[in-house]
Every structure is written in C-alpha cells, then in structure tokens.
Chains A and B, each alone.
Chain A
Amino acid sequence: MRSERRYTRRDVVKLSVAALLPGALLQGEAPAQGDTAVGQLLRPDLAGRPRGRVTDYQNDPFIVGIEGQLRCTCGCNLDVYTCRTTDFTCATSPAMHRELVGMLERGMTGEQILEAFVAQHGETVLMAPKKEGFNLAAYFVPGAAILTVGSALLWVLFRRSASAPELAAAGASERPTDLSAEEHAKLESELGRLE
C-alpha cells in the first residue's frame, strides 16, 4: 500500500487544515450535499460503494416485510432486505428495493408486488415456496412423517403396555421410585462399598 500512496497538494492542504482547525471549518471545502456540507473522505474509493441517503421507504415496516419474502437475485441466498443492509457491494438488492418502491408508489398491494416479482424472476425469487400444489409437500411431509411415526410408536407402546397386564398391575400398585426398605438398605450398602 505504502508504495502506491500518492497525495495531491490539495490532500496535504486539507490534512494540515484538519489538524489545525475544527472540522466545522472544513465543511466549506466539501462539495454541496444538500443543505449542509460535510468533510470529504481522504480515499472515498476505498470506503466501499458510494451510498445514497437513507429514505423513509428503507425503514418502512411494510416494505421491509415484503423484502423479507423476496430473495436477492445476485446469488447471495439472502433476502432483499438482509442483502441490501449487509452486502454493501451488491447492486442487485438496492435495485430490487427501488423497483419495489416504484410498484408501491404505483398503488400495487403487497400480494401484487410479490406476484410481479415472481412473474419477472420465477418462483425462485420467493424466500419460501408458495403453499400450493407440489410445494405443499415441502411444508407437510416433515410434520406428517413425524406424526405418522409418532402415532405408530404410540400404538406399539400401547400394545406392549396392554400385553403385559401383570407388569402394569404391579406398576400401578406401587410407587416404583420409592424403594422398599430392603432395597434401600441394599442400595446404601452398595453405595458404602463404592466409597
């Protein structure tokens, strides 16, 4: 890095002034950025992709909710909201956000927006499969498998319990974990031997 660093005279002047004067005085040197100017970065090219100002849409819970259901198509596997607020090198998720905002401004509902994205990118743009047709298998197979095996297990256990009535009767008539005096004495004796 050191070998490549080249400061212009303008940089040197800026750094010197920054060292001597309060930051507020430097604001005059920055390019106009709306109502208030701010200091310029030394190497903006190394500070990541330039960002625009945050708009209200970016924090709108409704938009964030829809973005959470849409997958960024850059290949990152993240939803649009997570991608645009995490992977700051991605240009796809901000574009998808702008597209979504545009649709909302045109009066489209959440459902319509999702449909529009599906029409444009295919079903893979949704973070979870739609609950219809073959996709239902995705949602119901695991639960159905657990319930089926669980029911079978219960049935087997019930049959086993019923087929051992003498044991069941014995079990019901006593308190199994309360050892008898004799058993307790034996347990104590064994514990004593262990120590």
Chain B
Amino acid sequence: MTILGQLALWLALLLSAWATIVGFVGGAGQRPELIRSAQRATYALAGVLVVASLALVVALVKHDFNVAYVASYTSRNLPLIYTLSAFYGGQAGSLLFWAVVLSVFGALAQWLTGRRYERLMPYAGAVTASVVFFFVVVTLFAANPFERLPFTPADGNGLNPQLQNPGMVIHPPLLYLGYISITIPFAFAMAALFSKRLDTGWLHAIRKWTIISWLFLSIGITLGMWWAYVELGWGGYWAWDPVENASFLPWLTMTAFLHSVMIQEKRGMLKKWNMVLIALSFLLSIFGTFITRSGIISSVHSFSQSPIGIYFGFYLIFIIVATAAVIWSRLPMLEAESHLESMVSREATFLFNNLLLVGIAFSVLWGTMFPMISELIRGTQVTVGPPFFNQVNIPIGLALLALTGIGPLIAWRRASPGHLKRQFAAPVTAGVIVAVLLLALGMRNLYPIMALALATFVVGTIAQEFVRGVGARHRLHGESHALAFARLVGRNRRRYGGYVVHLGIVLYFVAFTGQAFKTDVEASLKPGQKAELRSPWGHTYTFTHLGVSQYEELNRFTTAASVEVARDGERVGVMKSEKRQHVNSLGQPTFEPSTEAGIRSDLREDIYIVYAGSVAGTEEAVYRFTLNPLVWWLWFGGVVLVAGGVVTLWPGTSTSADRRRAMAGYAATLEGSTSGAK
C-alpha cells in the first residue's frame, strides 16, 4: 500500500504543478481548453491525495511497522481511534493531511462556485493548486510518511499519551481545517487581483468560505483550550505558548476582515485594507505552521525539529513578496468609492475595531518573536511568557470588548446625539450597575470589574437589538413574539447570527475574568487526612484522601487517587485523578507517566484535582487542589459562538432575498437614508 501512496504523491506533485501553470495561463489568455484541463487536474489532484491518505490509513491500521511513521506514532495496543488520529499526530502525516484537505477544498470550490465565478475560478484554482504543490513537495522530499525502515520492529513507539485524549482526536483536524480553508478566500482575493475584477464579486465568492474558515479556527482553538485544560494538568487553558499564539493570529485578522468586509460591501470602502487582511490571514497561517515545525521558537507544542523549517522559511518569503507585489500592482484599482463622513458612525467603530484586532495580532506576534529579536539585536535571549502577554493584551482586549457593544449601536454613515442617547442609555446603565454592585460586594480588582461591566454592557446591546427587532415586527405585522423572533433572525441571519457570536465572545471574556480568582493548594495526605481550600465565592471545600488504587487498562497501568469532596460540610462526591504509565504490547513502558486531572464543573467554579504522585511508594498521596471560577462559561461560550456562526452560514432564502432587494433598489434607498441596519 505504501508504494501506492508514494505513487499517488508523485502524481499529486505533477497534477498540482499542472493545475497551477495551466490555470494561470488559461485564466490570463482566457483559453477554455486550458481552463477545463486545469479544472480536471484539480479534481484528479484531490483524488490522488485521497488515495495517498488511504494508503497511510491502511498502513496505520494494519500496524505496518516497517513504515517509519507507523512505528513512530502507533503501537499494537493503541486503540483504533488513536491509531487513526496518528494520521495527523506526527509531522509527515499532518503535512499529507494538509495537502489532501486543501485539495478537496479546492475541488469543492471549483465544483460549487466554478460556474458562478468563472472568470475568477481559473486563477483561484491555480493559487490553491500552487499551495497544494508546496505541501506535496515538503511531504515528498522532507517529511515522507511512507518512508520505510531497514528493519521491522516488533512493536511501535505508540502515540504520546497526551495525544490519547478525545479532545486531541478532533482538535487538530478542526484547527487544520481552519488553517487550511483560509487558502480558499486568499485564492479568490488573488484571483480578483490577477483578473482585475475587483468589484464585490470576489467578496461574495469568499463570504461563506471565510466564515467557515473562521468557525473552524474558533472551534479548533476552543477545543485546544479544552484539551490543555483536561489533559495537561496545570489547571489553565491558555498559556500564550508560541503555537497557541500562532493559531490565534490568523483568527484575529480574519475577525477583523469579517467586520471590515461589511464596510466594503455597504460603502465600497477599505478595498486595499480588506485585501491586505485576507492576505495577512493566509500568510499568518503559513507563518504559524512555520514556527510550529521549524523549531525556531521553543514551544511545548512543537513537532520535533526537522529540515522542513527551511522549506517553510523560503516559501513564506516567496509568498510574502509575491502577494505584496500583486497587491501593489493593483493598488490604483482598489480606490475607495466613498469616504468616511463622521467620527461617530458604524464605519468608524469598525475601523477602530480593526485597529484593535490587528493591534492585538501585532502585539502577540511581537511578543512571540521578541526573544528572537532581542537575541539578534542584543545577543541576549529573553523569555516572553504569560505575564508579558497578559499585561500588554488585557487592556487592548477590554477596549475591543467595549467596541463589540458600541459598534452595533451606532448608525452607518453618521449618528446623531439623540440617536446615540437612545441607543446607549439602557446598556450603559446596566454596565454601570454591575460595576457598582461588584464594588459594593468588595471586589477591588480593576480588570475583572471592567470586564464584567463591559460584558454586561455588550449583553445589554445585544438584548436591546433583539427586543427592538422583535417589538418592531410584532407592532408592524401583528406577529406573535415567538414568530417575530424567528422571522427576525431567519431574515437577517448574518446580522443576528453575528450578535449571537458576540454573545459567545462575551462569555469567553466572563470566563477569562474567572482566572483572576483562581486559588490552589498543594497537600500530601494519608488516607483519611483532609485539606481545605476557600473558594472566591466564599465556600470552603474539604478534600478527604480516600486511597490509591492501581490497575491495568488497555494500553496502560493506572494509579488512581480518590478524594471525597465536601462543600461547606456537604458532600459533593468522590473525585479521582490518575497517573498513567503507558506500555506497548510487550508490556514495556513507553513515554513518561502522564497525569489525568479530576474535574468537576458547575456554573460557578471547577474543582480541579491533580494527583502528583505518592510519598515513598505509599498511599500517602501528593495533590494539587485548584478552584477555577467560571471555566464552564468558556465551553458554553464556544457552543454559543458556533451556534451564532451556524446561523450566519445557514443556507436559505438570503440569496433570493438579496436579489429582490437589489432589484427593488432597497439597499440603495436604505444607504441614502442612513439607516442603522447592519
């Protein structure tokens, strides 16, 4: 099977090169036969890469340990689900995964939108194929998953225990899907530049792709947080690690794009900026991959250092130069059709929102790269860890949270004082009340107070938008409130879906606030002994050590420590934390022992228990007990965010409605009347 995989990879190399060259030539010369050939090559490329992927999957499932990749990342006793996830668990497999997913996305884009955007598609297909070409080159020449060993080991090394977690089965592919799908909007943007068709057509072509990509990235990042929280045992979910930062960077620029693109759609402004943002998002996705895999920056997530860093380095330089050159050459065609008229307008708030989002992206990139910069300039390496990132980014993040509420309240083009007063009165009052209440309750931490007050303000703005919208429909059409709500959302999915996404973001901020009140204690307890910890909500938790048991499981030897937990003297339940020593099928220990935290969540706080080990091989256990307030809201915020994203993406009547609206001149009329509609 691996021969088939190799062959498929070589075919993919030829097909991607063909699709790139012929796509560009066909698009430039408007030669239908070449365009058709490039289209077929795009489909064939997806086909052969699927074959290559299946070949690797078969090798993994059949435990073909003569294949170096299979021997490195699996073992005979590894559960099937993790055997399959080993496909993207290692360097070479993940590169093949990237190539196959991108090729399938390219084929889908061709299939779904090829006719509608026939002038853009040859170039978009060529750009996508060129990116696939790069990944196939790296897979073939620097990290080949089909490479064979000169001998066949009896068993493989197994998968890193920390990757043997359900979160790790879905987090990497979703994050990859987010990263990879950014290429499609980028390809359409480049296609618009190459073809000089710089009207809003390319924006329509990429709108859904961009939201899908952003959504995958959001889910991937959130699942990554969840995995870090449940699996790594440090009681947190975000450590500002370079690799986490690398995933956050394109998310920020895409979020900025999703806002600024509305200005281009409505007012014909910010064309250059939008082009830069979409290019930046793609470049940052490649940059993230580069720093993850090159080993230039030390990270707990890094793949082992390998020669592929040099490939990514050169490719990054090439695409930065090429993209900048193409944008530069088309700058005169990207002039705005209108100008900002007021500092107090939605356009202006979106601009400031973009400034802050890109500002955070810059500060994160700056902090991530600063150790290297310092070493280059001063010859001294420094560490830039969470204290730095928190100090720099929390104030910017709070300003962004404020703008999340302010933006939707301000009218397009220009807002009058009366309008502002009417829009802001209730949400601002709600925010101030919460701030005063928190102060009255004795809270003195500035940032958490600001965060919670601003969160209330934003929720107030969202609620107000829904209440007013439903009320208007109820009054104008006599619909019941439920029907009015359904139709309000159904007919303005992008707007109200966006509000739901904002609500999700607010919940993230609420959860982040909880981190300021995290408390923990370490204790060594003999069976029957207790430790106490006071929560920020005023409860006293008592942890009674019950004992330690040891037993064998499928591919590991488990040492489990049990604790009975009581809150204010009332029994909460028994919690367990484990130490797992993974073994291969020959019973030999593989990897260092890993820790499984015991977690019990509720709306207020998480009880987080970690068994650190035993004193001198006895049942006297060493624990770390942590009370983590408001963590549940992070996961719930993720669900809300995804729900909002799905609402904005939901297919339906929007296209025909838009068409009718355009026919009726509805959009133009509203624009002239300076409506506050989004």
Decide whether A and B are members of one complex. yes
Asked if B592 lies at the interface with its beta carbon under 8 angstroms from chain A, I say yes
Across the interface, name the chain A residue whose C-beta is closest to B473.
Answer: A191
Tell me whether A85 and B374 are in contact (CB under 8 A): no
User: What residues of B have a CB within 8 angstroms of the CB of A143 in the complex?
Assistant: 363, 392, 396
User: What residues of B have a CB within 8 angstroms of the CB of A59 in the complex?
Assistant: 521-522
Tell me whether A49 and B613 are in contact (CB under 8 A): yes
Closest Cβ of chain A to B246, distance in Å, is 14
Tell me whether B384 and A138 are in contact (CB under 8 A): yes
User: What residues of B have a CB within 8 angstroms of the CB of A124 in the complex?
Assistant: 371, 380-383
Within 8 A of A (CB), among B408-460: 411, 413-416, 418-419
Asked if A145 lies at the interface with its beta carbon under 8 angstroms from chain B, I say yes
Query: Which of B298, B370, B386, B622 has a CB less than 8 Å from the CB of A54?
Result: B622
Tell me whether A69 and B526 are in contact (CB under 8 A): no
Tell me whether B559 and A41 are in contact (CB under 8 A): yes
Tell me whether A150 and B476 are in contact (CB under 8 A): no
User: What residues of A have a CB within 8 angstroms of the CB of B233 in the complex?
Assistant: 86
Tell me whether A41 and B664 are in contact (CB under 8 A): no
Query: Which of A1, A141, A175 has a CB less than 8 Å from the CB of B557?
Result: A1
Q: Give Cα A158–Cα B340 distance, bound, in whole angstroms.
A: 10
Within 8 A of B (CB), among A150-195: 150, 153-154, 156-158, 160-161, 164, 167-168, 171-172, 174-180, 183, 186-188, 190-191, 193-194
Closest Cβ of chain A to B340, distance in Å, is 5
Asked if B232 lies at the interface with its beta carbon under 8 angstroms from chain A, I say yes
Query: Contacts A46-B589, A146-B396 known; A85 to B355 CB distance under 8 Å?
Result: no
Closest Cβ of chain A to B479, distance in Å, is 11
Tell me whether B674 and A50 are in contact (CB under 8 A): no
Within 8 A of B (CB), among A67-114: 68-69, 71, 75-79, 82, 85-86, 88-89
Q: Give Cα A87–Cα B651 distance, bound, in whole angstroms.
A: 47
Across the interface, name the chain B residue whose C-beta is closest to A90.
Answer: B592
Across the interface, name the chain B residue whose C-beta is closest to A31.
Answer: B616
Tell me whether B616 and A33 are in contact (CB under 8 A): yes
Tell me whether A77 and B298 are in contact (CB under 8 A): yes
Pick out which of these stretches binds chain A: B42-50, B188-196, B578-586.
Answer: B578-586
Tell me whether A51 and B614 are in contact (CB under 8 A): yes
User: What residues of A have a CB within 8 angstroms of the CB of B343 in the complex?
Assistant: 154, 157-158, 161
User: What residues of B have a CB within 8 angstroms of the CB of A127 in the complex?
Assistant: 383, 385-388
Tell me whether A135 and B382 are in contact (CB under 8 A): yes
Query: Contacts A128-B388, A176-B411 known; A47 to B340 CB distance under 8 Å?
Result: no
User: What residues of A have a CB within 8 angstroms of the CB of B419 in the complex?
Assistant: 175-178
Tell me whether A51 and B613 are in contact (CB under 8 A): yes
Q: Give Cα A177–Cα B392 distance, bound, in whole angstroms.
A: 38
User: What residues of A have a CB within 8 angstroms of the CB of B491 in the complex?
Assistant: 194
Closest Cβ of chain A to B571, distance in Å, is 21
Closest Cβ of chain B to A12, distance in Å, is 15
User: What residues of A have a CB within 8 angstroms of the CB of B655 in the complex?
Assistant: none
Tell me whether B657 and A171 are in contact (CB under 8 A): no
Asked if B466 lies at the interface with its beta carbon under 8 angstroms from chain A, I say no
Within 8 A of A (CB), among B579-615: 579, 581, 583, 586-589, 592-593, 595, 610, 612-615
Within 8 A of A (CB), among B659-678: 660-661, 664, 666, 669-670, 673-676
Q: Give Cα A162–Cα B640 distance, bound, in whole angstroms.
A: 42
User: What residues of B have a CB within 8 angstroms of the CB of A77 in the complex?
Assistant: 239, 241, 298-300, 383, 385
Query: Contacts A23-B527, A128-B387 known; A193 to B664 CB distance under 8 Å?
Result: yes
Within 8 A of B (CB), among A13-71: 23, 30-31, 33, 36-44, 46-54, 58-59, 68-69, 71
User: What residues of A have a CB within 8 angstroms of the CB of B165 in the complex?
Assistant: none
Asked if B286 lies at the interface with its beta carbon under 8 angstroms from chain A, I say no
Asked if B318 lies at the interface with its beta carbon under 8 angstroms from chain A, I say no
Tell me whether A89 and B341 are in contact (CB under 8 A): no
User: What residues of B have a CB within 8 angstroms of the CB of A51 in the complex?
Assistant: 524, 612-615, 622
User: What residues of A have a CB within 8 angstroms of the CB of B411 in the complex?
Assistant: 176-177
User: What residues of A have a CB within 8 angstroms of the CB of B527 in the complex?
Assistant: 23, 38-39
Tell me whether A134 and B388 are in contact (CB under 8 A): no
Across the interface, name the chain B residue whose C-beta is closest to A171.
Answer: B414
Q: Give Cα A40–Cα B527 distance, bound, in whole angstroms.
A: 12
Closest Cβ of chain B to A50, distance in Å, is 6
Asked if B23 lies at the interface with its beta carbon under 8 angstroms from chain A, I say no
Tell me whether A186 and B418 are in contact (CB under 8 A): no
Closest Cβ of chain A to B78, distance in Å, is 14
Closest Cβ of chain A to B210, distance in Å, is 24
Q: Give Cα A171–Cα B352 distance, bound, in whole angstroms.
A: 21
Tell me whether B339 and A47 are in contact (CB under 8 A): no
Tell me whether A149 and B355 are in contact (CB under 8 A): yes
Asked if B348 lies at the interface with its beta carbon under 8 angstroms from chain A, I say yes
User: What residues of B have a CB within 8 angstroms of the CB of A2 in the complex?
Assistant: 552, 587
Closest Cβ of chain B to A125, distance in Å, is 7
Closest Cβ of chain A to B601, distance in Å, is 19
Across the interface, name the chain A residue whose C-beta is closest to B557.
Answer: A46
Asked if B367 lies at the interface with its beta carbon under 8 angstroms from chain A, I say yes
Within 8 A of A (CB), among B135-174: none
Tell me whether B675 and A177 are in contact (CB under 8 A): yes
Q: Give Cα A135–Cα B234 distance, bound, in whole angstroms.
A: 29
Query: Contacts A160-B340, A194-B657 known; A71 to B385 CB distance under 8 Å?
Result: yes
Tell me whether B341 and A30 are in contact (CB under 8 A): no
Closest Cβ of chain A to B237, distance in Å, is 13
Asked if A8 lies at the interface with its beta carbon under 8 angstroms from chain B, I say no
Q: Give Cα A154–Cα B669 distance, bound, in whole angstroms.
A: 29
Tell me whether A172 and B416 are in contact (CB under 8 A): yes
Across the interface, name the chain A residue whose C-beta is closest to B617.
Answer: A44
Query: Which of B521, B523, B666 has a CB less than 8 Å from the CB of A190?
Result: B666
Tell me whether B382 and A174 are in contact (CB under 8 A): no
Query: Contacts A75-B298, A122-B380, A135-B374 known; A176 to B415 CB distance under 8 Å?
Result: yes
Query: Contacts A122-B380, A135-B374, A145-B362 known; A157 to B583 CB distance under 8 Å?
Result: no
Tell me whether A186 and B388 are in contact (CB under 8 A): no
User: What residues of A have a CB within 8 angstroms of the CB of B387 in the complex?
Assistant: 68-69, 127-128
Closest Cβ of chain A to B607, distance in Å, is 16
Tell me whether B392 and A139 are in contact (CB under 8 A): yes
User: What residues of A have a CB within 8 angstroms of the CB of B374 in the complex?
Assistant: 129, 134-135, 138
Tell me whether A48 and B593 are in contact (CB under 8 A): yes
Tell me whether A139 and B391 are in contact (CB under 8 A): yes
Tell me whether A125 and B524 are in contact (CB under 8 A): no
Asked if B351 lies at the interface with its beta carbon under 8 angstroms from chain A, I say yes
Within 8 A of A (CB), among B201-260: 232-236, 239, 241
User: What residues of A have a CB within 8 angstroms of the CB of B352 in the complex?
Assistant: 150, 153
User: What residues of A have a CB within 8 angstroms of the CB of B547 in the complex?
Assistant: 23, 39
With contacts A4-B587, A31-B616, A187-B669 known, what are 18 further pairs, Cβ within 8 A? Answer: A5-B587, A38-B526, A40-B617, A46-B579, A47-B593, A76-B300, A78-B300, A85-B520, A124-B381, A128-B391, A129-B383, A138-B384, A141-B366, A160-B339, A168-B342, A190-B661, A191-B476, A194-B491
The 9 nearest A-B residue pairs measured at CB:
A44-B617, A142-B363, A4-B587, A127-B385, A176-B674, A146-B359, A86-B234, A171-B414, A51-B613
Q: Could you list 10 A-B pairs, sorted by A, with CB under 8 Å?
A: A82-B236, A86-B232, A128-B391, A138-B370, A146-B396, A167-B414, A168-B341, A172-B416, A176-B415, A190-B669
